Copies of this chain bind each other. A is one copy, B any other.
Amino acid sequence: MTFHFARRIEHAPASFLGELFRVSADPSIISFAGGLPSSALIDTEGIAEAAKEVFTTDPEVALQYSTTDGYRPLREYIAERYRKRLGIPATADEIQIVNGSQQCLDLFAKIFINPGDRVGMERPGYLGAIEAFSLYEPAFAAVPLDSEGPDPAAFEAMTKKTPVKFFYGIPNSQNPSGCTYSQDRRKAIAECLEGTDTVFYEDDAFGELFFDGKPRLPVKHYLPEQSVISGSFSKITAPGMRIGWMYAPKEILAAFNTAKQAADLHSNFLCQQILARYLATHDLDTHIKKIVAVYGRQCRLMCDLFDDLMPALSHTTPEGGMFLTAKLPAGMPAMDVFRKGIDKKVAVLPGMPFFVDGGGDDTIRLNFSSSDEEKIKEGMNRLASVVNRHS
């Protein structure tokens, strides 16, 4: 028999990521290609304690079905953290718990995108978002990033043309570029969108991971009723529990909740309870300081090694997050660097899948969170042997 799949899946962009990750699974390879937070910085003992407490308190409730919106104390914690950390007036009623912020991408696209609708993206844009949105068959409008954020003229031109349903961006330590929007650019974006029907979707996976420990005001501060923020515990607690959230105006959240219920009823309740207990009994700020200190050192080391060992390449210098992007010199395609890197036992991610309209084959993305300093030194030396022989 022949399976007649839906158009959305037949047109899904052919992913070379599967093969790429299979190739880089070889344990002798030092991989800068993935996107894992550091396993060594997961507070396994603290989470184990919290789990033990949940199992000794009310396990019948934690293991039973629950409500779609999520565990109320966890939503209260998230809302309170927005109020205290960023001074924005979030309430638990504006928070929906999801399976990591990836699920926000799927459900938000589901409630907003009709086939052919225009969606604004950064160029380069986050691969996970491109994959999630693509299944709803939008037309992408890509706005190039400069060192302060989306190019203002291109952003304005996008909003003036056929309306964009929403613009999706990562203002804090963007993936893949590592760039952070300036405050002026955030204000300018908000001003440009005000009075239009375009929603600003801020993916804030990395806002807690600034090396200077200082929060940046979100676009939502300037555009409260017309923007949403997705967040995640994956980078500040543990990704394996798959807990993230959507913070959105109530009208959007009502539609989002309908989609969430149809998608999987609710997120795993046991882990929501473990996480809420962990956050109530452990100081998240202290833990984040540890993460940030390590990632900051690893990032600086990687940047320094680029400058010392591979002067032909330019690179971004992130203020936080987990990724940076390097630009390859002319005549050095990213796929060549990837393939020869694998031969030398180092993996980097070619830039192409981050570009919805072609290009990116002169860039590579590197992750600096999951490799310790020793591995970064060894891996960057391996990469230099590829790049310098090549150039």
Q: Tell me whether A102 is interfacial, beta carbon within 8 Å.
A: yes
Q: Tell me whether A286 is interfacial, beta carbon within 8 Å.
A: no
Bound CA–CA A196/B40 (angstroms): 53
Q: Which of A4-12, A150-158, A309-317, A347-355 contacts B (4 or more CB under 8 A)?
A: A4-12
Bound CA–CA A263/B103 (angstroms): 5
Tell me whether A39 and B64 are in contact (CB under 8 A).
yes
Bound CA–CA A61/B238 (angstroms): 10
Interface of A is mostly: helix
Query: Interface size (A, Cβ < 8 Å)?
Result: 81
Q: Map CB proximity to B onto A247-286 as digits: 1 under 8 Å, 0 otherwise.
A: 0000110010011011111111111000000000000000
Q: Which of A48-56, A175-183, A337-345 contacts B (4 or more CB under 8 A)?
A: A48-56
Tell me whether A62 and B131 are in contact (CB under 8 A).
no
Cβ < 8 Å to B, chain A residues 132-149 = 132, 134-136
Known: A47-B59, A59-B47, A199-B3. A267 touches B99 (CB 8 A): yes
**Most B Cβ at <10 Å: residue of A9, A136, A165:** A9
Bound CA–CA A70/B39 (angstroms): 19
Q: Tell me whether A305 is interfacial, beta carbon within 8 Å.
A: no
Tell me whether B9 and A255 are in contact (CB under 8 A).
yes
Q: Tell me whether A329 is interfacial, beta carbon within 8 Å.
A: no
Cβ < 8 Å to B, chain A residues 115-173 = 117, 128, 131-132, 134-136, 165
A-B contact list, 14 entries, CB within 8 Å: A1-B197, A3-B251, A3-B255, A4-B112, A6-B111, A6-B117, A8-B110, A65-B240, A99-B265, A106-B262, A106-B263, A240-B268, A242-B269, A267-B268
The 3 closest A-B pairs by CB, nearest first: A63-B238, A44-B59, A48-B55
